[in-house]
Amino acid sequence: MADHDRQHRRLIGNGAGVQTVCLKELFEFQLLWSCTVHRCSLCCCVVGLVLSLALIDFCCCSWNARVGVAAIRAGRRARPGAARCDAGSNRSSIPGMASRHDRATQERRRRLRERQENERKEFRRRQQAQMAALHEIDGAVERFEAARAAVAAALANAVQVFPSVEALAEVTAFDAKEIRAYERRHRREQQGAQRRPVTAEQVPQQASGEAEPVTVPTG
């Protein structure tokens, strides 16, 4: 043991210990540098891998977006009747989309035509009903005017038979005022008929002197 210590002190005294210490520090520095380089290279590999994955993802997204835009443009350019003209072949990017669109369009057009046809039928039916009502009103007015003229003629003839208007009013449903009004009406109609020229159709009626039977309500 003592010999070893003496030999060690001798080596240190000769300068060999300094050289041993320098080599040891150099070895530690090289080891530390190599670890640092390896760590940096590993980090660079990881960063490169992450960047590569991000670049691949970006390229895939841009490609999918470009394909989607092209499909949308192709669907817009597709004609509505392409499925019918091509005998069932679908030119759209989405299968069955053109045929469903065509069926929906045809259904909407069919409902629109049915609604317009129903509206036209209803309008014609309402117009025919209005015309029939107007004709009925005209006929009723004509019959009413003829009945009033017949009543006026009958009352005028009755006034000539009865001693007075009051006596006639006692046995009929008309009062004296109404009887006088009908009498004046009948007198005006006779005066107007005398002023008008007589036609061939009116001659037999005036010659016969017959009047249409009129039912007068009695009290």
Provide the residue ranges of all domains of the chain, joining segments of one domain with +.
2-77, 97-198
Check pLDDT > 60 for residue 94.
no
Check pLDDT > 50 for residue 82.
no
Q: For residue 126, what pLDDT is reported?
A: 94
Which band of pLDDT confidence, cut at 50, 70 and 90, is reported for residue 194? confident
What mean pLDDT is predicted for residues 91-113?
77
Q: Which amino acid is at 167?
A: A
More confident residue, 150 or 73: 150
What mean pLDDT is predicted for residues 149-163?
86
Which band of pLDDT confidence, cut at 50, 70 and 90, is reported for residue 83? very low
pLDDT in tens, 39-78: 777 788 877 888 888 888 777 777 777 777 667 666 655 5
Q: What is the mean pLDDT of the chain?
A: 72
Q: How far apart are CA 114 and CA 112, in angstroms?
A: 5
Q: For residue 41, what pLDDT is reported?
A: 76
Q: For residue 197, what pLDDT is reported?
A: 63
Q: How far apart are CA 54 and CA 68, in angstroms?
A: 21
pTM over 0.85: no
% residues pLDDT > 70 (the chain): 58
State the helix-helix crossing angle for 97-161 and 176-195, rounded to 10 degrees.
100
